Structure 1
Amino acid sequence: MLRAVGRDSLARNSVLIMASTVGTSGLGYLYWMVAARELPRPAIGTATALISAATVVSMMANLGIGHMFIQRLPEAGAAAWSRIVSAGLLLGCAATAAASIAAALLLPRAVGNFTFLAGADGVVALALTAIALTASMLLDYVFVAHRASQGMLWRNLALAAGKVAALAGLTAAGLASAAAVVLAWTVPSLIVSACTLRWSLSRLRPGWRPTGAGLGDELRHVRGSMTGHHLVNLAQAGPSALLPVLVTAHLGAAENAHFYVAWMTASVLFMVSPAVASALYAERTNANNRSASLPRAALVVLVVIGLPAIVLFLAGGWILGLFSPAYAAAGGLLLKILVLAAIPDAITNLAVAHWRSLGALRRCLRLNLVMAVACLGLTWLWLPAMGIEAAGLAWLIGQSLGAALVAAHTGYARLRRRFTPQNVSAPRPRRPRPRSHPVVPGRFRSPAHSRPRSRRVP
């Protein structure tokens, strides 16, 4: 079994990406468990609201550079590779910093529950957290582009372990506020990203050197990724990043703490299909893509999420109770709803990866926009009356609607292929008839008749 996985590039990289997800999720449980036991819920709610806002900013400002890495890095030479990575990281982080400042200035004025962002401390905290997320995400895509997801695995495990150690150290030192959560979340991410730039990338691509040359030339490629893959990414990842922000805006930071813990627990399932989808897309952009088939990717997702989904659905309340009884009481029903949404979520993620590899970006965008509008619109309408369960129910409806659209498109495409004649050959083009007499340049052209007309004898 292990040998088969090792030979299958799609399965190997999917497993490595999911191992990174599972490892970081397990350490993430420990991180938030320490936070829940050492800090009051309002402090956790404020910290999770800031992290959620930083996630939205990073998602909007990364410019689709990650998928540009997947498209361009595998075939690039050493000098071009260094230019692409350096320019991508610089442009992505600069755009994230600018968007963070704008968000910190606008959110407190637009939504009363985000007043914690007002002031210089809020601006700096939001900007550093968002930049750390952007740099970490783009570096992950560098490893995925080269189907070297083991580098992503070790990087993320070191990052998650650093977060837990930093939070334990800060709380032991007596810092019992939202600042402890934000610092422990952000500082290890910046350190691990710096170490990746210094040591890991040179092993992945010998000859790698940070450079600022060619930045203007890369802007053309970044503009192309913005109008293509980035719009698809925004519509796809936007709802999951915006849901905690909407919960905070409507219900406050304390309720967002309950929502965020349940959402983080269910994200073990939601991270599997995007990991396999990224591996599928990376395989199809490389030359050797024999194993990169959609049925194989779907099988990998089904095998991985099957047992965890059953466990979370049946024992989710007990798992949330490990944080505290209040989290189990407030988020138990929400967690069951989110587990049910994992199946349609997997269908839509794999469909988008498949269509993206075929170049059907408009189809991907339309599907993601339909799901995003349904999810965010229903969440905004239902939150005041239904509480945090409204976000989970809206997510389930949005993903189910997307899965139904995928099924309808697939059925229509099969019917079209079935009733389209396949054996009717196209008409052959008519060949010009050869002239009976050659045309000699500069001489009188012979008439169309092959024989001269006979004169009538009187």
Structure 2
Amino acid sequence: MLGRVGRDSLARNSVLIMASTVGTSGLGYLYWMIAARELPRPAIGTATALISAATVVSMIANLGLGHMFIQRLPGVPAAAWSRIVSAGLLLGCAATAAASLAAVLVLPRLAGNFGFLDEPAGAAALVATAVALTASMLLDYVFVAHRASQGMLWRNLALAGGKVMTLLGLTAAGLSTASAVVLAWTLPSLVVSGYTLRRSLPRLRPGYRLAGAGLAAELRHVRGSLTGHHLINLAQAGPSAVLPVLVTARLGAADNAHFYMAWMTASVLFMVSPAVASALYAERANAAGRSASLPRAALVVLVVIGAPATGLFLAGGWILALFSPAYALGGATLLKILVLAAIPDAITNLAVAHWRSEGALRRCLRLNLLMAVTCLTLTWLWLPTWGIEAAGLAWLTGQSTGALIVAGYALWGRFLSPSPGPAPGKTAPRPRSPARPPHPVGRGRPAMRLGNRNRRPAPHSRPRSRTWRAP
């Protein structure tokens, strides 16, 4: 079994991406368990609100450069590879820093619960966290583009382990505010990203050098990525990042702490299908992986999420109680709703990856926009009445709507689309005329067969003439 997975590029990279997700999630549980036991809930709510806002900013400002890496990096020379990666990282991080400063000015005016961003420490934390998230995400896509997801696995495990160790050190030093959570979240990400740039990328692509030259030449490709894949990514992943922000704005930081713990626990399911979808798209973008099929990707997702989904649905309250009994009481119902939403979420993620590989970008964008608008609108309307469970119900409604549309597309393409008519018949070839003999047949003599007239004479032969004499 392991040998078969190792030979299958799609399965191998899907498993590595999911192993990165599972390892990061496991260490993330430990991280938030330490935070929940050492810090008060208002501090947890403030920290998760800031991290959620930074995630939204990073998602908006990364310009869709990750999928541009998947399209352009395989097979290019070292100099072009360095230019593409360097320009993508510099442009993405600069755009994220600018968007973070804009968020610092806008968010406190829109929602009073984000007033902590008016302080210099809160503003600096938002900018640093958002830039760190963008750099980390883009570096992950570099490894996915080269179907070398083992680099992504070790990088993310080091990052998650660094967060846990930093949080333990800060809490042991007596820091019990939201700053401890944010610092422990951001500092390891910056350190691991710096090590990846310095050590890992040169090993992945010999000859790589980070340089600022070539930014102008890459703007055309960035513009194409911004108007194509980036809009799809925003509509696809935007709601998952915006939901904690809406919960904070409508209900406050304390309720957001309950929501965020349940959402983070269910995210181990929501990360599987995007990981397989990214591997599927990378396989099809690579000339050697054109045979990666949608049924194989769906089978991988089904095998991986089956047991965890069952366990979370049956024992989700007990898992949340590991943080504290209050989190189990406030988020157990929400967790069950989110587990049910993992099924339609997997269907829509794989469908979008399949359509994206076929170039149907408008269809992907329309589907993701419909799901995003449905989810966010219902969340905003239902939160004051139903509490944090409203966000889960809105997420389930949006994903189920998208899954029904995917099923409609599949049925239309299989049964209802007009089948092409029979191919027009080809005219029968004219019978060849009988071959003429190479020489007219004389009476009583067989036909003479002449050799190839175009054959060159032997080099030693000479034309005979009357003036020719033998030496």
Into which bin does the TM-score normalised by the smaller protein fall? over 0.9
- Aligned residue for 2:28, secondary structure, equals helix
* Alpha-carbon distance between aligned partners in 2 of 1:337 and 1:159, rounded to the nearest angstrom: 30
CA offsets per residue over residues 355-377 of structure 1, 9 Å max, x none? 00000000000000000010000
* Alpha-carbon distance between aligned partners in 2 of 1:218 and 1:76, rounded to the nearest angstrom: 14
Q: How does 1:71-110 map to 2 (within 5 A)?
A: 71-110=71-110
Counterpart of 1:129 in structure 2 is 129
* Alpha-carbon distance between aligned partners in 2 of 1:100 and 1:122, rounded to the nearest angstrom: 11
- Aligned residue for 1:341, secondary structure, equals helix
- Aligned residue for 1:288, secondary structure, equals helix
* Alpha-carbon distance between aligned partners in 2 of 1:426 and 1:221, rounded to the nearest angstrom: 45
Task: Indicate conservation of the 8 Å contact 2:57/2:99, yes or no.
Answer: yes
* Alpha-carbon distance between aligned partners in 2 of 1:29 and 1:162, rounded to the nearest angstrom: 14
Over the aligned positions, Cα root-mean-square deviation in angstroms equals 1.0
* Alpha-carbon distance between aligned partners in 2 of 1:224 and 1:427, rounded to the nearest angstrom: 43
Partner AA of 1:313 in structure 2: F
Query: Normalising to structure 2: TM-score of the pair?
Result: 0.90
Runs (4+) of structure 1 exceeding 3 A deviation are none
Counterpart of 2:456 in structure 1 is none
Counterpart of 1:453 in structure 2 is none
CA offsets per residue over residues 246-300 of structure 1, 9 Å max, x none? 0000000000000000000000000000000000000000011254100000000
Counterpart of 1:423 in structure 2 is 422
Task: Indicate conservation of the 8 Å contact 1:143/1:151, yes or no.
Answer: yes
Counterpart of 1:253 in structure 2 is 253
Q: How does 1:265-280 map to 2 (within 5 A)?
A: 265-280=265-280
Partner AA of 1:421 in structure 2: P
Counterpart of 1:320 in structure 2 is 320
* Alpha-carbon distance between aligned partners in 2 of 1:82 and 1:289, rounded to the nearest angstrom: 24
Task: Indicate conservation of the 8 Å contact 1:9/1:291, yes or no.
Answer: no
Q: Which has the larger radius of gyration?
A: 2
Task: Indicate conservation of the 8 Å contact 2:284/2:291, yes or no.
Answer: no
| Percent of paired sites with the same residue | 80
Task: Indicate conservation of the 8 Å contact 1:344/1:403, yes or no.
Answer: yes
* Alpha-carbon distance between aligned partners in 1 of 2:319 and 2:154, rounded to the nearest angstrom: 26
Counterpart of 1:185 in structure 2 is 185
Counterpart of 2:396 in structure 1 is 396
Q: How does 1:311-350 map to 2 (within 5 A)?
A: 311-350=311-350
Counterpart of 2:298 in structure 1 is 298
Task: Indicate conservation of the 8 Å contact 1:8/1:291, yes or no.
Answer: no
Residue 427 of structure 1 deviates from its aligned partner by 8.7
Q: How does 1:50-449 map to 2 (within 5 A)?
A: 50-417=50-417, 419-425=418-424
* Alpha-carbon distance between aligned partners in 1 of 2:245 and 2:362, rounded to the nearest angstrom: 27
- Aligned residue for 2:115, secondary structure, equals helix
Counterpart of 2:4 in structure 1 is 4
Residue 425 of structure 1 deviates from its aligned partner by 2.4
* Alpha-carbon distance between aligned partners in 2 of 1:237 and 1:290, rounded to the nearest angstrom: 26
Residue 123 of structure 1 deviates from its aligned partner by 1.4
* Alpha-carbon distance between aligned partners in 2 of 1:291 and 1:244, rounded to the nearest angstrom: 39
* Alpha-carbon distance between aligned partners in 2 of 1:421 and 1:169, rounded to the nearest angstrom: 68
- Aligned residue for 1:340, secondary structure, equals helix
- Aligned residue for 2:63, secondary structure, equals coil
Task: Indicate conservation of the 8 Å contact 2:86/2:211, yes or no.
Answer: yes
Counterpart of 1:43 in structure 2 is 43
Residue 422 of structure 1 deviates from its aligned partner by 4.3
Partner AA of 1:425 in structure 2: P
Residue 75 of structure 1 deviates from its aligned partner by 1.9
Residue 415 of structure 1 deviates from its aligned partner by 1.9
Query: Normalising to structure 1: TM-score of the pair?
Result: 0.92
Task: Indicate conservation of the 8 Å contact 1:10/1:291, yes or no.
Answer: no
In structure 2, relative to structure 1, the CA distance for the partners of 1:213 and 1:179 (3 Å cut) is same
Partner AA of 2:331 in structure 1: G
Partner AA of 2:26 in structure 1: G
Residue 119 of structure 1 deviates from its aligned partner by 2.4
**Consecutive unaligned residues in structure 2, runs of 5 or more:** 428-471
- Aligned residue for 1:198, secondary structure, equals helix
Counterpart of 1:31 in structure 2 is 31
Task: Indicate conservation of the 8 Å contact 1:39/1:176, yes or no.
Answer: yes
Task: Indicate conservation of the 8 Å contact 1:270/1:342, yes or no.
Answer: yes
* Alpha-carbon distance between aligned partners in 2 of 1:422 and 1:288, rounded to the nearest angstrom: 33
Aligned length: 427
More off after superposition, 94-103 vs 286-295: 286-295
Counterpart of 1:439 in structure 2 is none
Residue 347 of structure 1 deviates from its aligned partner by 0.1
Residue 387 of structure 1 deviates from its aligned partner by 0.2
Partner AA of 2:229 in structure 1: H
**Consecutive unaligned residues in structure 1, runs of 5 or more:** 429-458
